[in-house]
Amino acid sequence: MLATFRLNKSFYEENKEEIKRRLDSVGIEGLILNEISNKLNWFSEVDIEVLKKICTIANDYNDILDLELQGKEDLEYMYDDVLKKLFLHALSNKWVSAISITSAINVLQIIEKKEEKFKKSVIQFEESEIKESMHDLFGRSYYFRLRQGINIFSKLQTFYKEYIHMTANWEKYKDRKTIEEIIGQDVKKDIVTKKDLFDLISVMPNVQESIIPLLIFEGVSFSKIEEMDELRYLKASDVRGNKIFIGGANERILDIDDEVVDALSKAINSEYLFKTVQHEFKYVELEYSEYILRPTILSRKRNDTSYDKDIMSFRGVYSRFLLCKDLIESTMYDVPFSPKILENFGKVYYVNKYLGEGIDVYDAIRKTLVRFGNWEGDIEKNKSNVKNVQMVNRLKKIWDLYTS
C-alpha cells in the first residue's frame, strides 16, 4: 500500500518556528519539512521512527501534513487521521494480504462512532470506554470482527506507545474469558467453527478464495499428492442439489446444507477476482472452466504445453488459502490455520452432528471418516480393518481434545 505525504505549506509558513522547535525537541534536528515536501512519496526516504515523531507532532497541530493511501484518496479519519494512515502503511509491509489491510481500514472506521462520542482517538480510550465500545459496536453477533478490532487497536497502540500517553491497553482485552464477560456470551474459540468460515466468506470479496477453507472443512481433500487431491478437480457439475459427488479413489457423496450450496453457487458463477496488481486494486478475469476453482487469465502458462489451463496448480490454490489464513490470523485466533487442522475441525463438527442424530460416538466417528474419504471398504463389514481401527482411534483422540 503506497502512501503520499504532502505538507500544508500555508499552515507551515504561519507556524514555521514553533513547528521547527517541536521537531528539534523530539530529536529530529536537520529535518526541514519544506525542503523534502516537494518530493513525491518523500516519506519513503525517511526512517519510520522519525516519521512517527513527525506524525505525532502533525496530529497535535492537525494541519501540518496530509497523507493519502493509494486507492483510498477519499479516506479520512475523524481522529488521528495521519497517525492511523502511517500505521496502515507500515502494517501493509507486514501483512501480505490486501484483504487484511482493507479489514483494518474498516474496523478503524467502525470505532469512529465511539471516538466521536468520547472526543478522542481509540488509542486513548479509558478502560470503561473500551468495554462500552466492545459491547455496543461489536457485541454478540460480530465476534469475528471484534477479535479483529482488538488486534488492530492494540497494534496501533504499540506502534505509537513511545510517543503518545495512553491510559488503558487494548491488549489486555484479547483474552477469551475477558471478552465473554464483556459481551455476555460464551465465545470459546479453541476451534474454528463452520459459522466462522461463513463469516470469512461474508468479509472477503472473492468467494473463489474463501470457499477453499469451507470445502476442506466439509470433507473435500486438499493434498500435494496428485492422486489424493480432490479440491482442484471438483467440477461445477459435481454439485447437484444439496450433494457433492466426489469421484476418484475415495468415491463418495457429501450431503451439504443450503448455506454451503449458496457459497458454492457464488464461487461457480464468479467471473472476476479482486486482487492487488502492482500496488493497485483490480478485477482480474477468471478462465472459463468446468472446475469450481479457476485460475485467472493472468496466471495462464501459455508456453507450457503440458499445462492444463482449466485446472489450478496446487501452488495457486494454496496461495488463495494463505489469503484466508492471513485474514483469520489477523483476528487473533489462538490456533494455527492450515488445511490439515481445518480438516480436523470439520471432522469434529461432523462427529458432533452425527452424535446429535442418536448414534454412538464410534459410529459417528466411522461415519465421519467415510465422509472425509478416510475409510477403507464397507462401513459395516470393515470395522476390524487394521487401518480403519487406527483411523477411528486417532479421530477419537482429536475429538476428545476439542470437546473436553
215 vs 136, higher pLDDT: 215
Residue 186, pLDDT score = 61
**Average pLDDT across the chain, whole number:** 83
pTM of this prediction exceeds 0.85? no
Assigned C-alpha cell, 69: 493511501
Rounded average pLDDT over 58-66: 72
What's the pLDDT at 396?
94
Query: What is the four-CA torsion angle of 384, 390, 391, 395, rounded to 10 degrees?
Result: 120
DSSP type of residue 228: T
pLDDT at residue 334 is higher than 60 = no
- Domains belonging to the chain, first-starting first, are 3-183 (no CATH), 194-329 (1.10.443), 339-403 (no CATH)
CB atoms within 10 A of CB 30: 7
Structure confidence at residue 29 (pLDDT): 54
Q: Read off the amino acid at residue 251.
A: E
Q: Distance between CA 111 and CA 121 in Å, rounded?
A: 9
- The stretch 219-244 carries a mean pLDDT of 95
d(CA 303, CA 106): 41
Q: 26: pLDDT confidence band, cut at 50, 70 and 90?
A: low
- Beta-carbon contacts of 399 under 8 Å, excluding residues fewer than 6 positions away, are 347, 348, 351, 361, 365
Return the ∠ at Cα 98 (arms to 152 and 7), rounded to 5°. 75
Query: How confident is the model over 84-117, as pLDDT tens digits?
Result: 988 998 888 777 566 677 778 888 998 999 999 9
Amino acid, res. 142: Y
Question: Which residues, listed in sequence order, are joined to residue 138 by a DSSP beta bridge?
Answer: none
Asked if pLDDT for residue 392 goes beyond 90, the answer is yes
pLDDT band at 391 (very low <50, low <70, confident <90, very high): very high
pLDDT value of position 272: 87
Q: Look at residue 330 and tell me whether its pLDDT is greater than 90.
A: no
pLDDT digits (tens, 9 = 90+) for 276-285: 665 566 788 8
Local structure of residue 177 (DSSP, 8 states): H
pLDDT at 331: 61
Pairing of strands 272-277, 280-285: antiparallel
Confidence of residue 305 (pLDDT cuts 50, 70, 90): very low
Residue closest to 286 by CA, chosen among 207, 223, 203, 204: 207
Tens digit of each residue's pLDDT (9 = 90 or more) over 156-174: 999 998 888 888 899 888 7
Distance (Å, whole) CA 81 – CA 91? 15
- Select from 166, 110, 117 the least CA-distant residue to 139: 110
Which CA distances in Å does 199 have to 100, 204, 348, 371?
14, 9, 19, 24
CA distance 176 to 187: 7
- The predicted structure's pLDDT at residue 58: 73
pLDDT of residue 277: 60
- Residue 154 predicted with pLDDT over 80: yes
The residue behind cell 462512532 is 113
Q: Cell 463452520 appears where?
A: 194
Residue 153 burial (C-beta neighbours within 10 Å; 0-12, 13-18, 19+): buried
| Average pLDDT score over residue span 119-145 | 81
pLDDT at 82 over 60: yes
Question: Over the Cα atoms of the chain, what is R_g?
Answer: 26
Query: Comparing C-alpha atoms, which of 187, 163, 160, 161 is closest to residue 174?
Result: 187
pLDDT of residue 96: 57
Whether the CB-CB separation of 312 and 300 falls below 8 Å is answered with no
Joined grid coordinates for residue 43: 516519506
CB 327 within 8 A of CB 97: yes
Reported as a single tens digit per residue, the pLDDT across 138-151 is 654 556 677 778 88
Q: Please, are residues 349 and 194 in contact by the beta-carbon 8 Å criterion?
A: yes
Q: Is 284 helix (H, G, I), strand (E, B) or coil?
A: strand
C-beta separation of 204 from 326 below 8 A = no
Q: What is the pLDDT of residue 21?
A: 78
Where do we find the cell 487497536?
153
Q: How open is the CA angle 294-296-302, to the nearest 5 degrees?
A: 105
Give dist(CA 272, CA 146) in Å, integer: 30
pLDDT digits (tens, 9 = 90+) for 214-225: 999 999 999 998
Strand partners, 245: 253
Angstrom distance (rounded) from CA 29 to CA 154? 30
The single-letter DSSP state of residue 209 is H
